[in-house]
Structures are given as structure tokens and as C-alpha cells.
Amino acid sequence: MLRGAGLGASDLVVDVGCGTGRLTLPLAALTPARVVGVDAEARMLEVARSKDAAARVEWLRGSAYRLPLADRAAALVVMVMVVHLLRQRVRAFREAHRVLGTGGQLSVWTFTPRHVAEFYLNAYFPSIPMIDRPRFPSAEVLTAELCRAGFAEVRVEVREEVRRLDIADVVDRVRGRYISTLGMLPPLEYRLGLQQLEERLAQDRATTLAQRSEWAIITARTTTAE
Ligand SMILES: C[S@@+](CC[C@H](N)C(=O)[O-])C[C@H]1O[C@@H](n2cnc3c(N)ncnc32)[C@H](O)[C@@H]1O
């Protein structure tokens, strides 16, 4: 992503929905450009700031629909694990387009519909795929939406990641509702699914679960003719 953007010290990178800076901080370490992290949640930004001892990143509270940045201020806008939380994706893409200069790049990272269909917790929480299907549309749908927002040269890369997770870690993650979908489940389904996982932990602490993730990494550019 950074190689494609070819950034210099006078360029600006904006991480929209930066959360606690999980990606923003490594990004800032890899680029000479100025880096801004924008998030709607003050608590997320507080954690991000506390991790940024060198104050390398400027952390700003703001919405993906109304970024606190001037027109054409940025060379690269990044949205990682954010579009599934947006009710109006095209509106957010238009806003990213507004802040990008000529030939600027938007990079959207999200999960594919296949990831949703094969998610490792579906067996415990059967409503997850129904909740997540509309939140994680196909790359074709996202490409069409990016074009409607004014972007051109849309490229899609699919990446697979396979990990084995300790059952104790899975139970901790689920107890902490580590993905927003867990907070959207019917309460009884959540309790029963968690109970099943806790029973597996009690039976054998050495149990592991395979998590196969499939990412769509979508890169779009503002047209150079602008
Ligand atoms: C799942 S987290 C991902 C955080 C980070 N990008 C990462 O990959 O670690 C989604 C973040 O998007 C933020 N967010 C959700 N809707 C937003 C909006 N409309 N405008 C700005 N940030 C938003 C949330 O507050 C949250 O911090």
C-alpha cells in the first residue's frame, strides 16, 4: 500500500477509523509522510495517544462522513476494518475522495463474504453470518460504490491468513465481545455459544481452533485528470 502511494515528507496519510492506532503507529514508522488518525470515539483516541510516546501521529476526533481535513489535503487515506460499521459507505467514500488530492489513493481493508460464511465462531453463534453478510459485501459491490463516489482504477487483492487459536484466548475474546457482531446477537444465543466454548475449555485446555481469515484489500485512486 505504501509502495503504491510513493509518499514523501510533505504528504499526508489519513487513517480513518484508526481505533487504538493498531495500524496507524506501524504505518507512521514506515513512511516519511505526516500521519493523522481520525476516529469517532474519544476513548479509542485516548488509548492511541497513550501508545504514541514519540507523538509521531496527530490524533483527531471526527467522523468518516465529515473528516476534519481540508479538500485535497491527503495523498493516502486508509480504512481498515471500518466499512462494515458504516451505514452510508458511498458517503464516506465521497468524503475520502474530497480530502484526497489529484492521483491520491484510498485503501480499504475488509473481510470477504467467504470469510463471513466460514468464520470460525459460526458453529457456536449461528446468527453471525446473517448479521455480517450485509456488513461485508463483495469486492464487486464495494468497487461499484467506490466508482459512484468518483474513484477510478480500483484494484482488488484477496489475502488469506490462517491461525490456530488457544481455546482460552477464544473464550477471553468472546467474553470481551471482541467483534461488534457479538454485541448484536440475541442475548440467549450469545450466552449458549459462550457456554459451549467454556465447556470445551474445561474439558481440555490444550484445545485449539483454526481461524481462517480472508481479507479484501481494495485500492482506488482519484482520477489524475482532476
Ligand atoms: C474495528 S475498529 C478498527 C480500528 C483500526 N482501524 C484497526 O484496524 O485496528 C473500527 C473503528 O472505527 C471507528 N468508527 C466507526 N464508525 C466511525 C465513523 N463513522 N467515523 C469515524 N470512525 C468510526 C470506531 O470507533 C472504531 O475505532
pLDDT single digits (tens) 151-183: 999 999 999 999 999 999 999 999 999 999 999
Owning domain of residue 161? 63-221
| Residue 87 domain flag | yes
Confidence at residue 101, expressed as pLDDT on a 0 to 100 scale: 83
CB of residue 64 inside a 6 A radius of ligand 1: yes
Q: Is the pLDDT of residue 226 over 80?
A: no
CB of residue 41 inside a 6 A radius of ligand 1: yes
Q: How far is the CA of 156 from the centre of ligand 1 (A)?
A: 21
| Residue 49 domain flag | no
| Residue 2 domain flag | no
| Residue 35 domain flag | no
| Residue 36 domain flag | no
CB of residue 81 inside a 6 A radius of ligand 1: yes
| Residue 189 domain flag | yes
| Residue 163 domain flag | yes
CB of residue 60 inside a 6 A radius of ligand 1: no
Q: What CATH number has the domain bearing residue 154?
A: 3.40.50.150
Whole-structure pTM value: 0.93
| Residue 39 domain flag | no
For 88-97, b/e burial (b = at least 16 CB within 10 A) is: ebeebbbbbb
Q: Which residue has its alpha carbon closest to ligand 1 atom 9?
A: 22
CB of residue 215 inside a 6 A radius of ligand 1: no
How far is the C-alpha of 90 from the C-alpha of 47, rounded, in Å? 29
Average pLDDT over residues 199-208: 97
pLDDT single digits (tens) 54-85: 999 999 999 999 999 999 999 999 999 999 99
Domain count, the chain: 1
